[in-house]
């Protein structure tokens, strides 16, 4: 994907801290390694509760974890829009904020959530991104993973990236979200690695990530 002979600008948009790392952290790390410019956008401030509705991280803690994870990936350009967790709107305001970022950075590739994810924030972030990126030529949706879950429309893996050289960076970026790791335990990491291994098997490499295409520019 990234062997284009020119420096690309890549914009990754997620609802929460850890969404991007879980779904395309290996791809982002690979892009940085290949000297492409990467911008990450988190729509929520990221404070969250556990399964008993007890606070496990406040906004300040979530923001710091997000910064730590971005640093692991090699990304220094991180935008946090600060919407409340579970309350992301599909609104003119959010579309406008994303539109401003897109206009400013002029990305060659945009990554965001699968539109049939089962988390309401993910769905609305995806739709807001697609609306804001209506003039962009390449938009790819990253694969949902638990606890996001699959929707009633299956994810279709159409574009693969070999992340065999960046799988460790991906996992370390996920571990940087310490509160989430404590919530979901090592099983969470094992599931991420297993899926990357499975997608790698499909691609014929050790580890891979995959994406569904909204639209893509073909350069001949």
Residue 166 lies in a domain: yes
Residue 142 lies in a domain: yes
pLDDT tens by residue, the chain, 220 residues: 555 678 999 999 999 999 999 999 999 999 999 999 999 999 998 655 555 555 556 778 889 999 999 999 999 999 999 999 889 999 999 999 999 999 999 999 999 999 999 999 999 999 999 999 999 999 999 999 876 667 789 999 999 999 999 999 999 999 999 888 788 888 989 999 999 999 999 999 999 999 999 999 987 7
217: preceding bond cis by omega (within 30 degrees): no
Residue 3 lies in a domain: no
Residue 110 lies in a domain: yes
Per-residue model confidence (pLDDT) at position 3: 59
Could you tell me if 16 and 83 are in contact, meaning their C-beta atoms sit under 8 angstroms apart? Answer: no
Residue 19 lies in a domain: yes
Instruction: Read off the CATH number of the domain in which 73 is found.
Output: 3.40.50.10320
Give me the domain span that covers residue 190. Answer: 9-215
Could you tell me if 22 and 174 are in contact, meaning their C-beta atoms sit under 8 angstroms apart? Answer: yes
CA 69 to chain centre: 12
Per-residue model confidence (pLDDT) at position 83: 94
Residue 13 lies in a domain: yes
**Overall number of domains in the chain:** 1
Per-residue model confidence (pLDDT) at position 48: 59
* Beta carbons within 8 Å of 100's beta carbon, 6+ residues apart: none
Largest pairwise CA distance in the chain: 54
CA distances from 147 to 68, 98, 125 (A): 22, 25, 17
């Amino acid at each position: 994907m990234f062997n284009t002979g020119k420096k690309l600008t890549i914009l990754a948009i997620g609802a929460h801290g850890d969404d991007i790392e879980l779904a395309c952290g290996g791809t982002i790390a690979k892009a940085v390694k290949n000297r492409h410019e990467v911008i990450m956008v988190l729509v929520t401030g990221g404070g969250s509760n556990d399964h008993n509705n007890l606070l496990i991280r406040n906004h300040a803690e979530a923001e710091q974890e997000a910064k730590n994870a971005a640093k692991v990936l090699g990304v220094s350009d991180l935008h946090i829009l600060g919407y409340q967790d579970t309350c992301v709107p599909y609104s003119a305001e959010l579309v406008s904020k994303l539109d401003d970022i897109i206009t400013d950075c002029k990305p060659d590739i945009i990554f965001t959530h699968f539109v049939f994810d089962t988390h309401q924030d993910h769905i609305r972030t995806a739709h807001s991104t697609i609306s804001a990126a209506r003039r962009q030529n390449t938009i790819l949706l990253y694969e949902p993973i638990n606890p996001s879950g699959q929707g009633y429309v299956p994810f279709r893996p159409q574009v693969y990236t070999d992340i065999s050289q960046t799988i460790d960076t991906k996992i370390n970026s996920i571990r940087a979200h310490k509160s989430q790791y404590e919530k979901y335990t090592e099983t969470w990491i094992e599931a991420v690695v297993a899926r990357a291994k499975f997608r790698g098997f499909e691609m014929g490499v050790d580890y891979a990530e995959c994406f569904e295409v909204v639209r893509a520019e073909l350069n001949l």
